[in-house]
A and B are shown apart, each in its own frame.
Chain A
């Protein structure tokens, strides 16, 4: 176990260094969700005045959505970069050492989650500057647990899919294909009361919906509410299931 943690740490360290050497990349991945936040905030502004819409401005409502978009876009690259490392022989260089195979996947997943969290911190700060309301600082901080779990889940899926598809192109296509429907089948953009029944049913198995609801509850100060509890429970299961699938895929293929 200690070996696994230290292996993961050293590899995580490497990925972090590489990311820090690409400031432009980091910049653009932050700018994109900010654009979502501002554009969607403006586009759907009037929706907030519809009867049945939760109180507040649309931007208040949409902030969790922008955070989730950051997660989805930020993590979908993880698998692509895994394929690149495989093609460059970098992964092979790891595999000839006794390093834990699980650590190779975990370091990637945690690195991906870490960069997403940094991006979300910046988006949150910008949103607060634009006047988005949060009931408490602890609520904001706790919402990053949700971001972490969701990122771990989706970057695992990206890595797992990479090992399954073995090609960059289909991976990117699937990543893009997943993103928007997952957003639409959740209350990220539209409150549940506005949804047709069948979409509402789908949201019940969509991890994104649980994440959105949990973040909203944290922002509203309902830290011990039911949506926080079920949301976190669902997300923990989701993260565990997808990391085990991804490591399973990788370990299987590398032996």
Chain B
């Protein structure tokens, strides 16, 4: 249903937003498209929905070429963007009717379809109220409904649940599943919420710097990280010490760090824990709490994207421990040392890694936390800004500059 061949988009500033991207999404699939900010997700979606032109490469949607048959593509897809594009000063029903008109449907089928959609999305009661009186969740639902007015076979959702409360999120998830299951709609979804991608998608693709790092089912991706992760919460100042101790331990495959927490990857969590605790206790490291878990999509994401969500932003408050460590030259030793005992396991783990090295992952982990604080707010503004306002180069992502380069 969705296919791209060596899709590339270079902005006039020279940045390659999308780099030789190959995507293949089957009919009836929910495809989760993940990647950090600036990885090229939105640009890719914009090319696929005919809102932007690729610099080179080809994309087909439902068999139509996005460049040569844009109107056929437009009629076979629905698109839900990050900003709810519904008009606040029209009622829900008027928004739906208008969208039908824009798809040039005839009055009779518009009205029939509008009733269907109002029913389906449970918006009947508020259909004639102005959208400005709607809650965020209702607005989202209406947004999705307007994208479905012409009965598209493919639906693109760009961060559909951003800024929604947990209840509205799960309600929207149910609609997404229903669309896929009962109406056989193929879905292409980008999100920053990994649990969302995990729960919804049949397959997940992780995008990094414009190219696809890996595509697989969520299960297979999680299985690709063998072993368990142990999350240690340590008393202040004990972190550096714990890391020094742990990296020498043959039991430990990898370490990620976040504020007061240290995440340790091991082969068999329940068997390793007693030894690990003993080791740390011997060295005088006090463990405040400890949890053990199967690798989540977070781990997969960090492994393949290898960068922080906030890459490119100020690194003024770069995290202390690994920075110091790197200065001391320890980083090199750590990264290349095969002598930490379990040579084989360590080696194979290293091999699987992207060439980003540890520090990037750890950086990601450390910054991961800031991300959550004002993520929603930041991202919404950032994205809106990126597309239309802000600097010229950002503007070009949507507009002229990009198209002409």
B75 at the interface (CB under 8 A from A): yes
Instruction: Tell me if A98 and B81 are in contact (CB < 8 A).
Output: no
Flag if B50 contacts A96 (CB, 8 Å). yes
Count residues of chain A with CB under 8 A from any CB of chain B.
Answer: 31
Which among B100-108, B305-313, B328-336 touches the partner chain? B100-108
Which of A7, A14, A89, A253 gathers the greatest number of chain B CB atoms within 10 Å? Answer: A89
Whether A97 and B81, one on each chain, are in contact in the complex, defined by CB atoms closer than 8 angstroms, is no
Report B84-113 residues with CB < 8 Å from chain A CB: 84-90, 94, 98-99, 101-104
Is B51 in the interface zone, CB < 8 Å from A?
yes
* A46 contacts partner chain B, Cβ-Cβ < 8 Å: no
Q: Is the CB of B103 within 8 A of A14?
A: no
Residues on B lying within 8 angstroms of A by beta carbon are 49-51, 53, 70-71, 74-75, 77-79, 81-90, 94, 98-99, 101-104, 130, 146, 384, 387-389, 392, 395, 398-400, 403
Stretch at the interface among A55-63, A80-88, A130-138: A80-88
**A:221-253 near B, CB below 8 Å:** 252-253
Q: Which of A17, A18, A97 is the most central at the interface, judged by chain B CB atoms within 10 Å of its CB?
A: A97
Residues of A near B84 (CB, < 8 A) are 88-89
Q: How far is the CB of A19 from chain B (nearest CB, A)?
A: 9
Q: CB-CB < 8 A to B130: which residues of A?
A: 21
Residues of B within 8 A of A254 (CB): 51, 399
**Cα distance, A121 to B179, chains bound together (Å):** 51
Interface centre among A6, A21, A92, A167, by most B CB within 10 Å? A92
Bound complex: CA A18 to CA B85 (Å): 15
A-chain residues with CB within 8 Å of residue B74 when the two chains form the complex: 96-98
Nearest neighbor of A88 in chain B, beta-carbon distance: B83
- Of the A-B pairs whose beta carbons lie under 8 Å apart in the complex, a sample of 16, sorted by A's number, is A3-B104, A14-B87, A83-B388, A87-B388, A87-B389, A88-B84, A88-B85, A88-B88, A90-B85, A90-B87, A93-B85, A96-B77, A98-B75, A98-B103, A252-B400, A254-B399
Chain B CB within 8 A of A95 CB: yes
CB neighbours of A99 from chain B (8 A): 102-104
Supposing A17-B90, A90-B85 touch, asked if A255 and B99 sit within 8 A by C-beta, the answer is no
Contact B400–A93 (Cβ < 8 Å)? no
B399 touching A253 by the CB < 8 A rule? yes
Across chains A and B, which 8 residue pairs bring their CB atoms closest together, nearest first? Answer: A89-B83, A93-B85, A89-B85, A97-B102, A253-B399, A10-B101, A98-B71, A99-B102
